[in-house]
RNA sequence: GGGCGCGUAGCUCAGUGGGAGAGCGCUCGCCUCACACGCGAGAGGUCGCUGGUUCGAACCCAGCCGCGCCCACCA
């Protein structure tokens, strides 16, 4: 064992990680069955991604459980890989091109996609390397990518089968158009933000009447696409107008006045302009009533020819100004009011969503959702913490069709071919040569699939599905999934649906929804706010073990602030482990690690260790990482180091074989217990342990030994510890110099040997008068003791006791308490009172 | 508009019916032959507010105040 008193993580982390990789510990053979094996599929980070605190937390949790199960001897696979992240990756490369003064359009599709692949080859492994820094024990030899050849095959198989079942279809439908990425996006990729707009009230004259209908809108430019005005069917004010028409100002189109229950009579005038082409609500109303669907805003965000000559070509913002001006000219603008409301924005590009009707591919989800709902209801997939189960079920019960096509080039190009000659549509896993119906040439669909369509297959596509591979047989279903709550629907729900539909089994048994780590000040961690904390900086500064411990320890609730103190606690723990190990390993007189208790404190610590093993293990198994980490810390620091090591130092220095063997056993089990949480420092220390046969990474995980529990020893030592503490406190209060040993006499049973040594009292048979009593210990007079300080101390203690006696007497004097509280509670209170009275009496002598 | 969570020591958080806890910070004393990233001893809290249930409430119930998150097609 080295002499240096500091554990230096940077020196050992890379070396140990290389040793683990070279030994192949993380690369299991595809043997056995999923029931006996243990497997986890990492939530695949974006290939453009860099490791952030969420990855680090999630990785620490997964690695803790993966390592624990590997140590238990289970054939364990942690599958790693990255997601091609269509929009994000395409945007990165397009930005590169823009800086070169080029564009993807100039390059053309094929060359552009090649360019993205080149980018991926160069930069795509960055985040994988960062997971290694964390110590993640993934199978880096089985790294997967959602655009791998085999993975593409899985995606196409799924698409084809869903199409054949009639779930996947093409339709003109209202989509969330993202003008930023020039693509449709799904509902889940939209975020609503509060925006202050102007609410315009516009008068629509009723045909053949002097009356007008006043409608309100924040998007006056969309009126150019209005095809009706709706009122509530129960609204008496307008009952007579239903069935008539009004005339659309600026355009002159006749708009039917319809009745629809969606209209809230309380809002504004109770009349609603209907724009099926540019409003999701109106779209549904329009479909119900068979209204015309007009599009006046194009995918480029500019007004189309349908908007009329005056407006065509303007941007939507320009068109809004022009329409408002024109309405004002015509005297149709009745009112404008500032209006705060929530507006959809693209989660990816940040652009304001433009709802429009577009020809897209959809997947209906209702049939897929049914068994996925049942699986969770029946706890075949358990969601922890439990409140997320209900959130999942509620969302799944209201699931809507999923727009799966994206107008991008980077991704899985949809495996659909069109024949222009005979209008045949062919869906196939492999590109067909020519049209099966007429033999004509085919043209492949331009769009790609939503990235989440492929990540939905992750747990089985990474294992080789649709081939019947040994990996699939050995490792599917996976054992559990840990995830951030924001992707519960986006990803987790879809994996459950596809898992049941395709490999015909749930993809994992457990879903753990982990904490969100906020910035130190409680704001979100985000790049744009500048509130992000880089996990790699933390690793550089404090070590991977410290960060892992800190993250697990701080993750007790669903929202927690990043705590530097917890990371520091982890770093301190690593250092303390190192130094306690030095004490043991540099002084033991034995090479045998075995429990050989010869004293009550030996039996005590062995018992406490086994209790800790049982408790920490149980907490890890139920995903309570925070308490597992803190409990392991508390045992090691407070019980093992502060007390036991101090108790046995003399025996250790004397070269006692028994205590040496016991210490080696304690150290071995302590290191193994902590290894899943802090793999590096424990592995490094293990390399100096005489029992070492191989790496700790593949050492057995400790199983709590009930036979070593000894409650009598625990009680006895606890009494000794408490007495030691009271004696130390007494010394401190009367200001005896730390090094001075004071004379004392024990009344009744002699305290345990360590009591006097650790509190610096010398017990003897001196019959002199005591100056004070601490429990059964009489403290004898000595030059080091200040009589006034003792008197003050005594009075303070008496005061404490009087107050306790009063409290206890009050409680016991309450007849209702004595009558109604459980007998053992009352009895315990009586015992306390007796003790307080006895001590008070003793001090008053 | 619905749903969920949170409010406990200066800070970050445990504690979910019987005498308020941890880590950090602070005070005092120790370079005691593993560790000063350490050891020992302390100070510090009307457990958000108001009611209720109970012999007894930080803990259970109701209302209120403050903070956060998720879902939702009211123009």
- Estimate in Å the CA A563 to C1' B11 gap, whole number: 10
Count the Cβ atoms, other than its own, within 10 Å of residue A494: 26
Rounded to 5 degrees, φ, ψ at A79 are: -80, 130
Count each helix (H run) and each strand (E run) in chain A, helices first: 28, 28
Q: Are A565 and A80 in contact (CB under 8 A)?
A: no
Percent of all residues in chain A with a pLDDT value above 70, rounded to a whole number: 100
**C-alpha to C-alpha distance for A545 and A530, rounded to whole angstroms:** 26
| Angle, helix A53-71 to helix A544-554, in steps of 10 degrees | 100
**Strand B closer than 7 Å to the CB of A689?**
no
Residue A62 confidence (pLDDT): 95
**C-alpha to C-alpha distance for A770 and A780, rounded to whole angstroms:** 4
Q: Are A372 and A500 in contact (CB under 8 A)?
A: yes
**Strand B closer than 7 Å to the CB of A630?**
yes
* Residue range A312-350, pLDDT digits in tens: 888 888 989 999 999 899 888 888 888 888 888 888 788
- Estimate in Å the CA A519 to C1' B62 gap, whole number: 35
Measured in whole angstroms, the distance separating CA A789 from the mean position of its chain's CA atoms is 55
Instruction: Note the strand B nucleotides within 7 A of protein beta carbons.
Output: 3-6, 11-15, 18-19, 22-24, 28-42, 54-56, 67-75
Q: Name residues whose C-beta falls within 8 Å of residue A796's C-beta, 6 or more positions apart in sequence.
A: A733
Residue A342 confidence (pLDDT): 83
For residue A666, pLDDT beyond 90: yes
**In 3D, which of A560, A557, A559, A533 has the Cα closest to residue A547?**
A533
Look at A125 and A578; give whichever has higher pLDDT.
Answer: A578
Percent of all residues in chain A with a pLDDT value above 90, rounded to a whole number: 53
A58: confidence class by pLDDT, cuts 50, 70, 90: very high
Distances (CA, A) of A367 to A129, A154, A180, A380, A451: 40, 20, 33, 18, 21
Helix (H, G, I), strand (E, B) or coil at A683: helix
**Strand B closer than 7 Å to the CB of A268?**
yes
ipTM over 0.85: yes
Nucleotide B4, nearest residue via CA and C1': A387
Distances (CA, A) of A105 to A48, A358, A733, A787: 22, 21, 82, 93
Sequential DSSP letters for A263-295: S-TTSTTSEEEE-TTT-HHHHHHHHHHT-----
Nucleotide B3, nearest residue via CA and C1': A391
For residue A529, pLDDT beyond 80: no
**C-alpha to C-alpha distance for A713 and A599, rounded to whole angstroms:** 9
Helix (H, G, I), strand (E, B) or coil at A167: coil
A264: confidence class by pLDDT, cuts 50, 70, 90: confident
Residue A671 confidence (pLDDT): 97
- What value does the mean pLDDT take over residues A738-761? 90
Of A54-58, A258-262, A413-417, A473-477, give the lowest mean pLDDT range. A258-262
**Strand B closer than 7 Å to the CB of A805?**
no
For residue A258, pLDDT beyond 80: yes
Count the Cβ atoms, other than its own, within 10 Å of residue A569: 20
Residue A462 confidence (pLDDT): 96
Residue A831 confidence (pLDDT): 86
Long-range contacts of A765-769 (CB under 8 A, 24+ apart): none
HEC-encoded secondary structure of A372-386? HHHHHHCCCCEEECC
- The pTM of this model reads 0.91
For residue A551, pLDDT beyond 70: yes
Residue A762 confidence (pLDDT): 92
Residue A845 confidence (pLDDT): 58
**In 3D, which of A476, A444, A470 has the Cα closest to residue A457?**
A476
* Residue range A585-637, pLDDT digits in tens: 999 998 899 999 999 999 999 999 999 999 999 999 999 999 999 999 999 99
Residues 738-777 of A with CB under 7 A from strand B: 738-739
Nucleotide nearest the Cα atom of A275 (by C1'): B75
- What value does the mean pLDDT take over residues A49-78? 94
Residue A270 confidence (pLDDT): 86
Judge if the upstream peptide bond of residue A385 is cis by omega within 30 degrees of 0: yes
**C-alpha to C-alpha distance for A700 and A694, rounded to whole angstroms:** 11
- Estimate in Å the CA A416 to C1' B64 gap, whole number: 60
Sequential DSSP letters for A455-502: HTTHHHHTTTTTS--HHHHHH-SEEEEEE-GGGIIIIIIHHHHHHHHT
Nucleotide nearest the Cα atom of A806 (by C1'): B19
Q: Are A743 and A766 in contact (CB under 8 A)?
A: yes
Nucleotide B72, nearest residue via CA and C1': A192
**C-alpha to C-alpha distance for A271 and A275, rounded to whole angstroms:** 13
Q: Are A632 and A612 in contact (CB under 8 A)?
A: yes
Q: Is the dihedral of CA A166, A171, A173, A177 positive or negative?
A: positive
In DSSP terms, which residues pair with A197 in a beta bridge? A339
**C-alpha to C-alpha distance for A155 and A83, rounded to whole angstroms:** 13
Nucleotide B38, nearest residue via CA and C1': A576
Question: Environment class of residue A37 by beta-carbon count within 10 Å: exposed (0-12), middle (13-18) or buried (19+)?
Answer: buried
Output the average pLDDT for chain A.
90
Nucleotide nearest the Cα atom of A630 (by C1'): B22
* Residue range A374-389, pLDDT digits in tens: 999 999 999 988 888 8
User: Cα angle at A123 between A118 and A126, to 5 degrees?
Assistant: 150
Look at A195 and A77; give whichever has higher pLDDT.
Answer: A77
**Backbone conformation region of residue A543, classed left if phi is above 0, alpha if psi is from -120 to 50, else beta:** left
Of A151-165, A298-312, A458-472, give the lowest mean pLDDT range. A298-312
**In 3D, which of A648, A750, A627, A677 has the Cα closest to residue A68?**
A677
Residues 515-574 of A with CB under 7 A from strand B: 518, 522, 524, 554, 556-561, 563, 565-566, 568-569, 571-572
Residues 425-484 of A with CB under 7 A from strand B: none
Q: Name residues whose C-beta falls within 8 Å of residue A171's C-beta, 6 or more positions apart in sequence.
A: A359, A360, A362
**C-alpha to C-alpha distance for A99 and A101, rounded to whole angstroms:** 5
Q: Of A360-364, A399-403, A515-519, A520-524, which has the strongest mean pLDDT? A: A360-364
- Estimate in Å the CA A404 to C1' B17 gap, whole number: 53
């Amino acid at each position: 064992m080295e002499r240096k008193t500091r554990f230096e993580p940077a020196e050992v982390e890379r070396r140990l990680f290389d040793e683990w990789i070279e030994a192949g510990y993380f690369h299991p053979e595809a043997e056995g069955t999923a029931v006996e094996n243990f497997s986890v599929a990492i939530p695949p980070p974006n290939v453009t991604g860099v490791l952030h605190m969420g990855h680090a937390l999630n990785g620490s949790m997964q690695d803790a459980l993966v390592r624990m199960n590997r140590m238990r001897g289970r054939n364990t696979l942690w599958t790693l890989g990255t997601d091609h992240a269509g929009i994000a990756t395409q945007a990165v490369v397009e930005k590169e091109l823009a800086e070169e003064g080029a564009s993807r359009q100039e390059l053309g599709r094929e060359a552009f996609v090649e360019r993205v692949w080149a980018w991926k080859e160069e930069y795509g492994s960055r985040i994988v390397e960062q997971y290694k820094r964390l110590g993640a024990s993934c199978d880096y030899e089985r790294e997967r990518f959602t655009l791998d050849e085999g993975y593409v095959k899985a995606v196409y198989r799924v698409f084809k089968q869903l199409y054949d079942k009639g779930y996947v279809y093409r339709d003109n439908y209202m989509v969330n158009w993202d003008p930023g990425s020039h693509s449709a996006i799904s509902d889940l990729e939209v975020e609503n933000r509060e925006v202050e707009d102007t609410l315009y009230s516009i008068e629509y004259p009723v045909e053949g009447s002097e009356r007008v209908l006043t409608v309100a809108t924040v998007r006056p430019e969309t009126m150019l696409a209005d095809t009706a005005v709706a009122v509530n069917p129960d609204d008496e004010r307008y009952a007579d107008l239903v069935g008539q028409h009004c005339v659309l100002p600026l355009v002159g189109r006749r708009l039917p006045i319809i009745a629809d229950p969606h209209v809230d009579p309380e809002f504004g005038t109770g009349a609603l302009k209907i724009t099926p082409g540019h409003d999701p609500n109106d779209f549904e109303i329009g479909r119900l009533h068979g209204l015309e669907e007009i599009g006046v805003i194009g995918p480029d965000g500019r007004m189309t020819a349908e908007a009329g000559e005056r407006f065509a070509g303007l941007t939507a913002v320009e068109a809004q100004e022009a329409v408002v001006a024109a309405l004002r000219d015509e005297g149709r603008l009745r009112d404008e009011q500032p209006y705060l409301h929530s507006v959809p924005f693209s989660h990816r590009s940040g652009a304001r969503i433009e709802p429009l009707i577009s020809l897209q591919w959809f997947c209906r989800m209702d049939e897929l959702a049914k068994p996925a709902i049942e699986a969770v209801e029946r706890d075949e997939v358990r969601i922890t913490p439990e409140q997320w189960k209900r959130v999942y079920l509620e969302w799944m019960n209201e699931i809507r069709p999923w727009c799966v096509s994206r107008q991008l080039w980077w991704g899985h190009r949809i495996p659909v071919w069109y024949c222009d000659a005979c209008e045949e549509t062919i869906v196939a896993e492999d590109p067909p040569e020519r049209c099966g119906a007429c033999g004509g040439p085919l043209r492949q669909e331009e769009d790609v699939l939503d990235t989440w369509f492929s990540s939905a297959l992750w747990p089985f596509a990474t294992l080789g599905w649709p081939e019947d591979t040994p990996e699939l047989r050995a490792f599917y279903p996976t054992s559990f999934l840990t995830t951030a709550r924001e992707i519960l629907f986006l990803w987790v729900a879809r994996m459950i649906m596809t898992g049941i539909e395709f490999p015909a089994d749930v993809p994992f048994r457990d879903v753990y929804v982990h904490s969100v780590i906020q910035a130190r000040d409680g704001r979100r961690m985000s790049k744009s706010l500048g509130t992000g904390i880089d996990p790699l900086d933390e690793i550089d500064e404090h070590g991977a073990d410290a960060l892992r411990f800190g993250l697990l320890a701080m993750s007790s609730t669903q929202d927690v602030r990043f705590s530097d103190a917890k990371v520091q606690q982890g770093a301190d723990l690593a250092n303390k482990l190192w130094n306690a190990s030095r004490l043991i390993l540099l002084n033991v007189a034995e090479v045998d690690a075995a429990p050989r208790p010869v004293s009550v404190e030996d039996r005590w610590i062995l018992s406490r260790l086994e209790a800790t093993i049982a408790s920490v293990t149980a907490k890890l198994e139920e995903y309570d990482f925070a308490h597992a980490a803190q409990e392991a810390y508390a045992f090691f620091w407070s019980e093992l180091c502060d007390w036991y090591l101090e108790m046995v130092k003399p025996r250790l220095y004397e070269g006692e074989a028994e205590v040496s063997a016991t210490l080696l056993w304690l150290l071995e089990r302590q290191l193994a217990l902590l290894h899943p949480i802090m793999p590096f420092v424990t592995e490094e220390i293990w390399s100096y342990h005489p029992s070492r046969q191989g790496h700790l990474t593949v050492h057995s995980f400790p199983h709590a030994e009930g036979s070593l529990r000894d409650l009598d020893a625990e009680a006895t030592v606890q009494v000794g510890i408490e007495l030691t503490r009271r004696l130390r406190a007494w010394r401190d209060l009367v200001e005896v110099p730390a090094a001075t040993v004071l004379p004392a006499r024990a009344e009744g049973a002699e305290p345990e040997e360590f009591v006097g040594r650790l509190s610096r009292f010398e017990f003897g048979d001196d019959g002199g008068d005591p100056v004070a009593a601490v429990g059964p210990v009489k403290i004898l007079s000595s030059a080091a003791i200040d009589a006034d300080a003792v008197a003050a101390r005594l009075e303070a203690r008496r005061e404490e006791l009087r107050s306790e006696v009063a409290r206890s007497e009050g409680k016991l004097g309450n007849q209702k308490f004595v009558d109604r509280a459980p007998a053992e509670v009352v009895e315990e209170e009586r015992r306390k009172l007796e003790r307080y009275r006895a001590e008070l009496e003793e001090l008053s002598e």
